[in-house]
């Protein structure tokens, strides 16, 4: 799980954006539309999907060679036509209805040990985003039809790319062969309209699944923070999970990893990045880390959990967004603060059934 030296951070982003921009401009027949503060891309299931989808993962592979720790960093959103009069599909997230957090570890794990393999299927809401049998980001199931992830993971995908995107549920093993219990197609990708690939502000997106998920003992939704909650989640033990690299410039692990870190205040976080990251830390971000532990390439879009009290359900408070280096001791990881976007999630989470 451990991410880019500060000196090359902006140079890498410039290269990635240039590469992706050329790719995005070459795509045609995109199903873009906007609804209020969201950009929606519908899956295009026409034509030969396999041929169309051999290119999307070329960019991440090329990005890895240019900027090893920003291989998921995506391009700015492209101009879209505002068709806000199109039908809207919304649902209020009802955690009680969907029995969020029905399983998982009930004690804060591995505070001293650092990173380790997670207990198989103990994090029942964790998902992997997969194209052409390659995992490139994480995400979490928030109800039977929706997955939340980072916008930088999916904002550059075309309609044809989305048709080949799969959400792997109930998965633990990544190598030598992935072991998802369920693979779901994606109907649409909804990215925050104000997502900025330069600053990674508003780094959040929803994936609408093609059909509802049947919940089991090993597949069920995560709990999200209550709306209007004032808790800033500072100075809390937190757990982040993913299939990202375990050491800088290393390889991805065989199985899902988890690591316990510590959240800090945004003021402290801003101080650590002062003079390094010019865009700064916003109220919509949350920072957490611990020397020698943290997130890395491949963890993007995955969750940050806290447990309100021992024995209580875990709450997802963050989405893996960005950082400097792989678990660098002087820099925490930066997460999208979920509580800042509960209203956005409630508005844009799709209802079950056909569009």
pLDDT digits (tens), the chain, 355 positions: 654 433 334 334 333 333 333 344 334 345 767 777 888 889 888 755 444 433 344 333 222 222 233 333 333 333 333 433 333 333 334 444 447 876 555 444 443 334 588 999 999 999 999 999 999 999 999 999 999 999 999 999 999 999 999 999 999 999 999 999 999 999 999 999 999 999 999 999 999 999 999 999 999 999 999 887 777 899 999 999 999 988 877 889 999 999 999 999 999 999 999 988 888 899 999 999 998 888 888 999 999 999 988 888 999 999 999 998 787 888 999 999 999 999 999 999 965 444 4
Question: Does the fold of domain 126-221+342-348 match that of domain 111-117+223-339?
Answer: yes
Residue length of the chain:
355
From the list 103, 220, 297, 300, the catalytic residue is: 300
Give the whole-angstrom CA distance, residue 333 versus residue 301: 13
User: What local confidence, expressed as pLDDT, does residue 3 receive?
Assistant: 42
User: What local confidence, expressed as pLDDT, does residue 350 receive?
Assistant: 65
Give the whole-angstrom CA distance, residue 350 versus residue 1: 31
Give the residue carrying structure tokens 């951070």.
Answer: 9
Query: So where are the chain's domains?
Result: 111-117+223-339, 126-221+342-348
User: What local confidence, expressed as pLDDT, does residue 85 receive?
Assistant: 37
Establish whether 33 is a catalytic residue: no
Class of domain 126-221+342-348: mainly beta
From the list 44, 143, 203, 299, the catalytic residue is: 203
The CA–CA distances, whole Å, from 76 to 25, 119, 153, 334 equal: 12, 37, 11, 19
Tokens found for residue 327: 């678990």
From the list 33, 53, 152, 192, the catalytic residue is: 152
Q: What are phi and psi of 343, to 5 degrees?
A: -60, -40
Give the whole-angstrom CA distance, residue 227 versus residue 242: 26
The 10s digit of each residue's pLDDT in 231-258 is: 789 999 999 999 998 887 788 999 999 9
Strand partners, 333: 288
Establish whether 297 is a catalytic residue: no
Instruction: For residue 80, give the 3-state DSSP assignment.
Output: coil
The 10s digit of each residue's pLDDT in 43-82 is: 888 755 444 433 344 333 222 222 233 333 333 333 333 4
User: What local confidence, expressed as pLDDT, does residue 263 receive?
Assistant: 96
Establish whether 201 is a catalytic residue: no
User: What's the CATH fold of domain 111-117+223-339?
Assistant: Thrombin, subunit H (2.40.10)
Burial class of residue 232 in the structure, from the number of CB atoms within 10 Å of its CB (0-12 exposed, 13-18 middle, 19+ buried): middle
Nearest-CA neighbor of 8 among 76, 58, 74, 70? 70
Nearest-CA neighbor of 107 among 328, 310, 350? 310
Give the whole-angstrom CA distance, residue 116 versus residue 203: 27
User: What local confidence, expressed as pLDDT, does residue 32 receive?
Assistant: 65
Nearest-CA neighbor of 315 among 234, 224, 231, 240? 224
Contact in structure between 319 and 303 (CB atoms under 8 Å): yes
Strand partners, 135: 130
Cβ partners under 8 Å of residue 163, min gap 6: 43, 44, 45, 49, 52, 53, 185
Tokens found for residue 259: 């690591």
Strand partners, 304: 240, 318
Cβ partners under 8 Å of residue 189, min gap 6: 40, 41, 154, 155, 157, 162, 165, 205, 206, 207, 208
Q: Which helix (H) or strand (E) holds 147?
A: strand 146-149
Beta strands in 196-277 (DSSP E): 205-209, 237-242, 257-264
């Amino acid at each position: 799980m451990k991410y880019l030296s500060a000196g090359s951070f902006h140079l890498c982003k410039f290269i990635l954006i240039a590469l992706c921009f050329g790719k995005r401009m070459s795509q045609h027949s995109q199903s873009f539309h906007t609804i209020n503060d969201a950009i929606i891309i519908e899956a295009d299931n026409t034509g030969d999907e396999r041929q169309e989808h051999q290119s999307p993962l070329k960019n991440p592979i090329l990005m890895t060679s240019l900027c090893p720790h920003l291989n998921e960093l995506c391009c700015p959103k492209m101009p879209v036509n505002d068709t806000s009069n199109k039908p809207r599909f919304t649902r209020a997230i009802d955690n009680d209805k969907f029995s969020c957090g029905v399983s998982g570890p009930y004690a804060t794990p591995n505070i001293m040990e650092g990173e380790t393999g997670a207990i198989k299927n103990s994090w029942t809401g964790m998902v992997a985003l997969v194209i052409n049998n390659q995992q490139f980001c994480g995400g979490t199931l928030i109800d039977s039809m929706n997955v939340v992830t980072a916008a930088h993971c999916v904002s550059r995908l075309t309609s044809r790319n989305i048709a080949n995107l799969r959400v792997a549920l109930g998965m633990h093993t990544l190598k030598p062969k992935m072991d998802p219990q369920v693979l779901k197609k994606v109907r649409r990708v909804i990215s925050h309209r104000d997502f900025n690939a330069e600053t990674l502000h508003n780094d959040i997106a929803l994936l609408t699944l093609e059909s509802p998920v049947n919940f089991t003992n090993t597949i069920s939704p995560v709990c999200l923070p209550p709306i209007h909650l004032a808790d800033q989640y500072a100075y809390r033990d937190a757990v982040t999970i993913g299939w990202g690299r375990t050491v800088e410039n290393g390889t991805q692990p065989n199985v899902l990893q988890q690591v316990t870190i510590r959240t800090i205040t945004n003021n402290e976080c801003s101080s650590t990045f002062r003079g390094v990251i010019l865009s700064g830390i916003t109220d919509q971000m949350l920072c957490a880390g611990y020397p020698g532990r943290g997130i890395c390439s491949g963890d993007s879009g995955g969750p940050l959990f806290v447990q309100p009290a021992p024995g209580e359900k875990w709450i997802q408070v963050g989405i893996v967004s960005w950082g400097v280096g792989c678990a660098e001791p002087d820099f925490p990881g930066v997460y999208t603060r979920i509580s800042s976007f509960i209203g956005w999630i409630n508005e844009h989470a799709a209802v079950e059934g056909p569009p």
